């Protein structure tokens, strides 16, 4: 465990934690599915769906740890392109959070009851096909890996586990309290606006930070 921790720069862990927190708190396919499932079928169904979502995270983490980031070292322009795509996607998420007329995530669509196996499967597929998660692992996470420190796979593993812990914890809390949150927010539109603008600001700031780092790298 000490070897894992020492292989990763503390600033990188904090950076990926900030990105993961901003993204998990911004409504997307995973959150909408978990909230809809929890409200329409109960907390147990929400947590079973979350199990499938966590399995999807592990698939992405396995691919990154297996060496997908090594391609970026061989083809630097590809890394730059994906990096810019990640920053652009964060800006798009920021706009989705603050744009007028956005749908409230705690006003979920109706879902028919599903058996446990299907709940897990649907959670897994929702995560696997979620563009937010693809961008996180393919574009954003590699930016926090420092090749000069060596142990690139280990760094990717630790950073990915950091994202998974944050995402599963936050989504689990949301799934457990979705009904109560929906009731609380039903008559408090001001809270919804605050959440939207706060998350939009965080995501926009992260996107600009990524673009700024790239500009510095090119200048040097």
Q: What pLDDT is attached to residue 214?
A: 47
What is the pLDDT, as a whole number, of residue 143? 80
What SS3 class is residue 110? coil
Q: Confidence band (pLDDT; 50, 70, 90) for 191? A: low
pLDDT at 103: 53
pLDDT for res 51: 96
Return the C-alpha torsion angle 37, 40, 46, 50, nearest 10: 0
So what's the pLDDT on residue 92?
76
CA distance linking residue 106 with residue 40, whole number of Å: 12
Mean pLDDT for 40-53 is: 90
Which position has the higher pLDDT, 120 or 63?
120
53-74 pLDDT, tens digit each: 999 999 989 888 876 656 656 6
Give backbone dihedrals phi and psi of 23, rounded to 5 degrees, phi first: -75, -40
| Range from 1-5, 50-54, 109-113, 215-219 carrying the lowest mean pLDDT | 215-219
- 185 versus 140: which is more confidently predicted? 140
pLDDT at 121: 94
Distance between CA atoms of residues 114 and 14, nearest Å: 38
Quote the pLDDT of residue 10: 83
pLDDT of residue 147: 74
How far is 8 from 144, CA to CA, in rounded Å? 9
Tokens of 175: 């799934």
% of the chain surpassing 90 pLDDT: 17
Mean pLDDT (the chain) is 76
Mind listing the pLDDT tens digit for each residue in 71-106?
656 666 766 676 677 677 777 767 776 777 655 555
Question: What are all long-range contacts of 189-196, with beta carbons under 8 Å and residues at least 24 apart?
Answer: 192/104, 192/106, 195/25, 196/97, 196/98, 196/102
Query: What mean pLDDT comes out for the span 101-124?
Result: 74
Which of 25-29, 141-145, 211-215 has the weakest average pLDDT? Answer: 211-215
Average pLDDT estimate for 175-203: 70
Can you give the pLDDT at residue 55?
95
Structure confidence at residue 185 (pLDDT): 60
């Amino acid at each position: 465990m000490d070897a894992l921790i020492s292989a990763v720069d503390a600033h990188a862990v904090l950076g990926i934690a900030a990105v993961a927190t901003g993204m998990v708190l911004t409504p997307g396919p995973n959150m909408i599915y978990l909230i809809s499932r929890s409200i329409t079928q109960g907390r147990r169904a929400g947590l079973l769906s979350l199990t499938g979502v966590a399995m999807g995270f592990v698939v992405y983490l396995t691919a990154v740890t297996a060496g997908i980031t090594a391609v970026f070292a061989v083809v630097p322009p590809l890394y730059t392109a994906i990096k810019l795509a990640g920053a652009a996607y964060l800006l798009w998420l920021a706009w989705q959070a603050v744009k007028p007329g956005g749908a409230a995530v705690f006003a979920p669509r109706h879902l028919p009851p599903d058996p446990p196996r299907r709940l897990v499967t649907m959670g897994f597929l929702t995560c696997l096909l979620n563009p937010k998660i693809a961008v996180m692992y393919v574009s954003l996470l590699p930016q926090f890996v420092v090749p000069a420190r060596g142990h690139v796979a280990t760094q990717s593993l630790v950073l990915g586990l950091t994202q998974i812990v944050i995402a599963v914890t936050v989504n689990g809390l949301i799934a457990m309290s979705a009904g109560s949150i929906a009731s609380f927010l039903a008559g408090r539109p001001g809270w919804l606006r605050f959440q939207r603008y706060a998350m939009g600001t965080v995501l926009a700031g992260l996107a600009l930070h990524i673009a700024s780092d790239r500009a510095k790298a090119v200048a040097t």
